[in-house]
Amino acid sequence: MLGHMRSYSSLLCHILGSHPQIDGYCETHIKYRTRFDLLRLRSRVVKLTGEPLRGRYVLDKVLHNYPLTPGILRSSTTFGIVLVRRPVPSVQSIINMGLHYEDVAWHRDLEAVVQYYEGRLARLIRISDQMPGRVVFIEAEALLSRTADVLHRLGALLGLGEPLRVEYRRFAHTGEGGFGDPSEVITLGRVANVTREPRTAVMVPPTLEARLETAYACCVASLRDRCEALAAA
């Protein structure tokens, strides 16, 4: 699962990880330099779930520009799900996470967060170039607005034997910072289109907003050209 922070990636990974054919639900922070790192993923997922591998897929969530060697991306056994959320809500949510849940200085720095978002979207385009025919792009808002359709099409693309469901399990590290969404929303156990104002108002100046919207528009257009796409509307 390839995305950026606050893209509803924890929600999607909890849904996927609750399926009997998929193992894993959170970030492992593995840097994929060689194929040996895929074996590390298997052992890390066993440790993080406390359960033996049982499924067809082993899942990792990658939200940062860690190394991802082309040999792994081009493997016929690797499948990518790219998740991108609109820029201003993403940036505001990252900063609120930094203000209220985590002690990570750059998460509270507006310019640093904007640069992270721009850089991450640019990397997602490059990654998708290396996975032709094995990557799907989801506009993150669709996970809330068109949940059933998104889950049905993801299940079909992955060849799952039974449907993905809106309800999901709570895992050992659900709601813990460093493993995914640290907020209480992820503990609900089902998809909920919950609209909440940020805890702290985060103003994004017009110049930065324009930069963000340009990066988003470029990324979405590129991913739609390269991937099977599930749009928000």
Fold category of 9-230 in CATH? Rossmann fold (3.40.50)
Rg of the chain over CA atoms, in angstroms?
Answer: 17
Encoding tokens for residue 119?
A: 């850089």
Overall average pLDDT of the 155-173 stretch: 95
The domain spans of the chain are: 9-230
Position with higher pLDDT, 223 vs 184: 223
User: Which pLDDT value is given to residue 178?
Assistant: 86
pLDDT tier for residue 156 given thresholds of 50, 70 and 90: very high
Residue 31 pairs in a beta bridge with: none
Query: CA angle at residue 229 from 226 to 230, to 5 degrees?
Result: 165
Q: For the segment 5-58, what is each residue's pLDDT rounded down to a tens digit?
A: 999 999 999 999 999 999 999 999 999 999 999 999 999 999 999 999 999 999
Q: For the segment 183-219, what is each residue's pLDDT rounded down to a tens digit?
A: 889 999 999 866 554 578 899 999 999 999 999 999 9
CA distance 27 to 98: 18
Amino acid letter for position 219:
C
Residue 22 pairs in a beta bridge with: 57
User: Which pLDDT value is given to residue 196?
Assistant: 54
Cβ atoms of residues 73 and 131 within 8 Å: yes
**DSSP-derived pairing of the beta strands 80-84 and 57-58:** unpaired
Q: Which of 176, 152, 149, 174 is nearest to 163 (CA)?
A: 152
Torsion angle of C-alpha atoms 174, 176, 180, 185, degrees rounded to 10? 60
Mean pLDDT of the chain: 94
Overall average pLDDT of the 99-128 stretch: 96
Report phi then psi at 5, rounded to 5: -60, 140
Torsion angle of C-alpha atoms 67, 29, 65, 116, degrees rounded to 10? -170
Q: For the segment 63-109, what is each residue's pLDDT rounded down to a tens digit?
A: 999 999 999 999 999 999 999 999 999 999 999 999 999 889 999 99
Q: For the segment 128-138, what is each residue's pLDDT rounded down to a tens digit?
A: 999 999 999 99
User: Which pLDDT value is given to residue 198?
Assistant: 55
